[in-house]
Structure 1
Amino acid sequence: MARGNQREKAREKNLKAQAAQKSKSGKTGFEMQRDKEAVAEMMRKKQAAADAKKQGAGDKK
Protein backbone atom coordinates (compact mmCIF):
# COMPACT_ATOMS: atom_id res chain seq x y z
CA MET A 1 0.00 0.00 0.00
CA ALA A 2 2.76 2.44 0.80
CA ARG A 3 4.15 2.04 -2.69
CA GLY A 4 0.85 3.10 -4.26
CA ASN A 5 0.80 6.21 -2.10
CA GLN A 6 4.36 6.98 -3.14
CA ARG A 7 3.35 6.75 -6.81
CA GLU A 8 0.38 9.04 -6.26
CA LYS A 9 2.51 11.63 -4.47
CA ALA A 10 5.13 11.50 -7.24
CA ARG A 11 2.43 11.82 -9.90
CA GLU A 12 0.90 14.85 -8.15
CA LYS A 13 4.29 16.49 -7.81
CA ASN A 14 5.08 15.88 -11.47
CA LEU A 15 1.73 17.27 -12.65
CA LYS A 16 2.22 20.36 -10.53
CA ALA A 17 5.72 20.89 -11.95
CA GLN A 18 4.46 20.46 -15.53
CA ALA A 19 1.64 22.95 -14.97
CA ALA A 20 4.08 25.50 -13.58
CA GLN A 21 6.40 25.00 -16.53
CA LYS A 22 3.59 25.47 -19.07
CA SER A 23 2.35 28.67 -17.48
CA LYS A 24 5.73 30.36 -17.59
CA SER A 25 6.73 32.28 -20.66
CA GLY A 26 10.37 32.85 -21.48
CA LYS A 27 9.71 36.34 -22.79
CA THR A 28 9.24 39.57 -20.96
CA GLY A 29 6.33 41.89 -21.74
CA PHE A 30 8.57 44.12 -23.83
CA GLU A 31 9.84 41.18 -25.89
CA MET A 32 6.30 39.91 -26.47
CA GLN A 33 5.14 43.35 -27.59
CA ARG A 34 8.12 43.72 -29.93
CA ASP A 35 7.43 40.32 -31.48
CA LYS A 36 3.73 41.09 -31.90
CA GLU A 37 4.57 44.34 -33.66
CA ALA A 38 7.07 42.62 -35.94
CA VAL A 39 4.49 40.01 -36.94
CA ALA A 40 1.86 42.70 -37.46
CA GLU A 41 4.20 44.67 -39.73
CA MET A 42 5.00 41.54 -41.73
CA MET A 43 1.27 40.83 -42.16
CA ARG A 44 0.62 44.44 -43.24
CA LYS A 45 3.28 44.10 -45.94
CA LYS A 46 1.84 40.79 -47.05
CA GLN A 47 -1.67 42.28 -47.23
CA ALA A 48 -0.39 45.29 -49.18
CA ALA A 49 1.28 42.95 -51.66
CA ALA A 50 -1.94 40.95 -52.03
CA ASP A 51 -3.95 44.14 -52.56
CA ALA A 52 -1.48 45.32 -55.18
CA LYS A 53 -1.73 41.97 -56.93
CA LYS A 54 -5.53 42.21 -56.90
CA GLN A 55 -5.38 45.71 -58.37
CA GLY A 56 -3.05 44.47 -61.09
CA ALA A 57 -5.34 41.54 -61.89
CA GLY A 58 -8.37 43.86 -61.87
CA ASP A 59 -6.81 46.20 -64.43
CA LYS A 60 -6.23 43.39 -66.89
CA LYS A 61 -9.90 42.33 -67.02
Structure 2
Amino acid sequence: MKKQIDSIKGKCQDDGLSAAACKQRVSETMQQKQKKANEKKEEPK
Protein backbone atom coordinates (compact mmCIF):
# COMPACT_ATOMS: atom_id res chain seq x y z
CA MET A 1 0.00 0.00 0.00
CA LYS A 2 2.88 2.37 0.75
CA LYS A 3 4.22 1.72 -2.75
CA GLN A 4 0.81 2.67 -4.18
CA ILE A 5 0.80 5.94 -2.26
CA ASP A 6 4.35 6.76 -3.33
CA SER A 7 3.51 6.10 -6.98
CA ILE A 8 0.41 8.30 -6.74
CA LYS A 9 2.45 11.09 -5.14
CA GLY A 10 4.81 11.00 -8.11
CA LYS A 11 1.86 11.39 -10.46
CA CYS A 12 0.57 14.38 -8.51
CA GLN A 13 3.87 16.18 -8.91
CA ASP A 14 3.71 15.54 -12.63
CA ASP A 15 0.18 17.00 -12.72
CA GLY A 16 1.37 20.14 -10.92
CA LEU A 17 -1.14 19.79 -8.08
CA SER A 18 -0.54 21.28 -4.67
CA ALA A 19 0.25 18.91 -1.83
CA ALA A 20 -3.21 19.42 -0.30
CA ALA A 21 -5.01 18.75 -3.59
CA CYS A 22 -2.87 15.67 -4.18
CA LYS A 23 -3.58 14.35 -0.69
CA GLN A 24 -7.33 14.86 -1.20
CA ARG A 25 -7.30 13.03 -4.52
CA VAL A 26 -5.26 10.14 -3.10
CA SER A 27 -7.65 9.89 -0.16
CA GLU A 28 -10.69 9.73 -2.42
CA THR A 29 -9.06 7.11 -4.63
CA MET A 30 -8.18 4.92 -1.65
CA GLN A 31 -11.70 5.20 -0.24
CA GLN A 32 -13.20 4.13 -3.57
CA LYS A 33 -10.87 1.13 -3.78
CA GLN A 34 -11.69 0.13 -0.20
CA LYS A 35 -15.43 0.41 -0.88
CA LYS A 36 -15.14 -1.82 -3.95
CA ALA A 37 -13.10 -4.36 -2.00
CA ASN A 38 -15.69 -4.44 0.78
CA GLU A 39 -18.55 -4.88 -1.69
CA LYS A 40 -16.73 -7.71 -3.42
CA LYS A 41 -16.00 -9.36 -0.08
CA GLU A 42 -19.69 -9.27 0.92
CA GLU A 43 -20.98 -10.88 -2.29
CA PRO A 44 -22.25 -14.41 -1.76
CA LYS A 45 -20.23 -17.08 -3.54
TM range (shorter): 0.5 to 0.7
Higher Rg of the two aligned structures:
1
Residue 24 of structure 1, CA deviation: 5.0
Q: 2:36 matched to 1:46? A: yes
- TM-score for the superposition, normalised by structure 1: 0.48
RMSD between aligned residues: 1.7
User: Structure 2: where are the runs of 5+ without partners?
Assistant: 1-12
Which has the higher relative contact order, 1 or 2, with Cα contacts under 8 A spaced 6 or more apart? 2
Q: Which runs of 5+ in 1 are unaligned?
A: 1-22
Q: Name 2:25's counterpart in structure 1.
A: 35
Give the alignment's TM-score, normalised by structure 2: 0.63
